[in-house]
Homo-oligomer: A and B are copies of this chain.
Amino acid sequence: MKTQSRKEEIIKIASYLFKERGYNAVSMRDIAQAMGIKAASLYNHIKSKQEILSTLILEVAHEFTNGMNTVVEENTFPIQKIKKIIELHIDITVNHSEGLAALNNDWMHLENEDLKAFVKMREDYEENFRKIIRQGIKTGDIKPCHPEVILFSILSTLRTLYLWYQKRGKLDINVLKKDMVSVFLDGIVNKH
């Protein structure tokens, strides 16, 4: 974090504004003003507004892809893999929170190859997750619900974690991991 290039600074400030208002509602003038310079000056460091968006999103998307690949390759049981995926999301939320809003809400404003690459990565990610759940149902470790209900219950929660992690920033990461794993694995009903 010591030497932060001007480009990285632009992307960081842009990510904050994108999170608050969305990609299309933030102008190059807004980004420039937040940095104390004029819009035209931004173009000395970046090629286009698009470049900011794609850098931001694809960086985080690769984190997810790499993390999922590690989980898939592990020689563990499905339930253990799901625990690892929950922890992966929590770690990325804590360490790369800037890009998560754009990744969730503004990915459709990516263009051409970047859009295609992102959609592919997201589909592969979901498919890997789905296979783990199906495997767990097959072995009897996971209860025989509709796999899509399980997939989207967990994924929806993990994807929007960034929204409330900042609000309740005090929450200890390890408590969060423990409680979230507990809620999804065993539910919220108290077993006396």
Task: Point out residues on A near B: beta carbons under 8 Å.
Answer: 20-22, 24-25, 79, 82, 105-106, 108-109, 136, 140-146, 148-150, 152-153, 156-157, 159-161, 163-164, 168, 171, 175-176, 179-180, 182-192
Contact = CB atoms under 8 A, between A and B. Distances in A.
A146 B160 contact: no
Given A24-B24, A79-B189, 8 more contacts: A25-B109, A142-B190, A143-B186, A143-B190, A145-B179, A149-B183, A156-B160, A156-B163
Given A24-B22, A171-B148, A184 B153 contact: yes
A20 B24 CA distance: 14
B183 A187 contact: yes
A187 B184 contact: yes
30 contacts: A21-B108, A22-B22, A82-B188, A105-B105, A136-B188, A142-B188, A143-B182, A143-B188, A143-B190, A143-B191, A144-B190, A145-B182, A145-B188, A146-B176, A148-B164, A148-B168, A149-B179, A149-B183, A152-B157, A152-B164, A153-B157, A153-B180, A153-B183, A156-B156, A156-B159, A157-B157, A184-B188, A186-B186, A186-B187, A187-B187
Q: How many copies does the complex hold?
A: 2
A108 B187 contact: no
Contacts of A189: 79, 141-143, 185-186
Contacts of A176: 146, 149
A27 to B, nearest CB: 11
A191 B141 CA distance: 8
